[in-house]
Amino acid sequence: MSQLIDGKAAAARVLAEVKAEVERLHAQDVEPALAVVLVGDDPASHVYVRNKVLRAGEVGIRSLEYRLPAEASADEVLEVVAALNADPAVHGILVQLPLPKHIDEVRVLEAIDPGKDVDGFHSENVGGLSQGRNVLTPCTPAGCMRLLHDTLGDLSGKHAVVVGRSNIVGKPMAALLLAANCSISVVHSRSVEPEKLCRLADIVIAAVGRPRLIDAGWIKPGAVVIDVGINRIEEDGRSRLVGDVDFAAVQQVTAAITPVPGGVGPMTIAMLMHNTVLAARQQTGQAIQE
Ligand code: NDP
């Protein structure tokens, strides 16, 4: 019987730790604060930002929202980022992606103070992660690592296959698994017979954005599967969210698997709160205790 990895429960545990840490910081007159910059009218981005702000409030993190119109210039966005970088009362800065097409995302992300970069997308943090330094780490892969450690304990010596190589999920995921002493394969759209490599894996991380691409034929019996994918599809006359993994079929062969929704999704926001508290601790000169 495959174990269902409960991302909601795991996220609740992370958020409880964060809340306790926020209370400790409050007692030392530090009020952790997260600034969220939203440019344009993308409905999904508005939902994500609302959820982040709500979750911050629940754990006692102060949130500030900066909304700019879709036609805002890159310079206007950069001005907001510069002001937030300079504000000692702001510990975390998140620019919600995607930005409107006329704004260079890389330029904006690189403008964020790396110490306040709670999404972990700044090249200084990306480089630090690959060197095994203690830096702010992208939230979704960090959340996947928590789920894996909760499920398997020590990951040393496991063979992990990451499906997808985006800067946001696949690449940092591979770096974190390597840091945890796994052997890594990363497969992508140019891989030849990716299912064959996948079938060798003790751990499969699916971050592709293709509904139910990964079926039971990709999975070694007894593997642990983490499904990052969030895909909205029309099925049986209704709209529903499914992952990159064919859950019903794959669950038959796995030792443990995350559902979609209720798996990785809740962990992403929880790890954002965790990063905000880490950033607040670092900026106020407090030791990091991981
Ligand atoms: P991207 O589109 O940036 O990257 C997708 C990756 O999958 C690419 O590296 C691509 O390869 C690879 N790929 C595409 N088709 C195949 C295929 N047939 N076989 C193997 N690899 C393939 O997506 P993201 O990484 O941003 O997101 C992936 C999924 O995770 C999406 O569903 C997204 O919604 C979800 N997501 C969920 C989050 C959460 O909180 N749960 C957070 C972030 C994302 P190539 O590089 O060659 O093009």
Catalytic residue, candidates 113, 116, 117, 119: 119
Note whether 204 and 97 are same-domain residues.
no
Mean pLDDT, the chain, rounded, equals 97
**Residue 289 backbone class (left: φ over 0; alpha: ψ -120 to 50; beta: rest):** beta
pLDDT at residue 248, as a whole number: 97
Q: Convert the pLDDT of each residue in 45-99 to its tens digit.
A: 999 999 999 999 999 999 999 999 999 999 999 999 999 999 999 999 999 999 9
Residue 284 DSSP class: T
Could you tell me the CATH number of the domain that includes residue 52? Answer: 3.40.50.10860
16 is a domain residue = no
Best probe residue, ligand 1, of 121, 198, 204, 228 (max atoms within 8 Å of C-beta): 228
The dihedral built from the CA positions of residue 66, 67, 68 and 70, taken in this order, carries a sign that is: positive
290 is a domain residue = no
Encoded tokens for 12? 């609740």
My answer on whether omega of the bond before 141 falls inside 30° of 0, hence cis, is no
51 is a domain residue = yes
Note whether 235 and 177 are same-domain residues.
yes
| 85: containing domain | 29-114
Task: Extract the annotated binding site.
Answer: 164-166, 230
Q: Check pLDDT > 70 for residue 288.
A: no
Note whether 71 and 186 are same-domain residues.
no
Domains: count for the chain: 2
Note whether 160 and 261 are same-domain residues.
yes
Note whether 158 and 250 are same-domain residues.
yes
Note whether 77 and 178 are same-domain residues.
no
Question: Residues 6 or more apart from 8 whose CB is under 8 A from it?
Answer: 262, 266
186 lines ligand 1 (CB under 6 A): no
Confidence label for 28 from pLDDT (cuts 50, 70 and 90): very high
Q: Convert the pLDDT of each residue in 143-177 to its tens digit.
A: 999 999 999 999 999 999 999 999 999 999 999 99
Note whether 110 and 143 are same-domain residues.
no
Q: How far is CA 115 from the centre of its chain?
A: 17
Best probe residue, ligand 1, of 169, 192, 199 (max atoms within 8 Å of C-beta): 169
Q: How many CB atoms lie within 10 A of CB 90?
A: 21
pLDDT at residue 286, as a whole number: 79
Report the share of the chain in percent with pLDDT over 90.
Answer: 98
Confidence label for 1 from pLDDT (cuts 50, 70 and 90): confident
Note whether 110 and 160 are same-domain residues.
no
pLDDT at residue 287, as a whole number: 59
Note whether 145 and 257 are same-domain residues.
yes
287 is a domain residue = no
188 lines ligand 1 (CB under 6 A): yes
119 is catalytic: yes
206 lines ligand 1 (CB under 6 A): no
Report the share of the chain in percent with pLDDT over 70.
Answer: 99
Structure ipTM: 0.99
284 is a domain residue = no
Tell me, yes or no, if the pTM score tops 0.90. Answer: yes
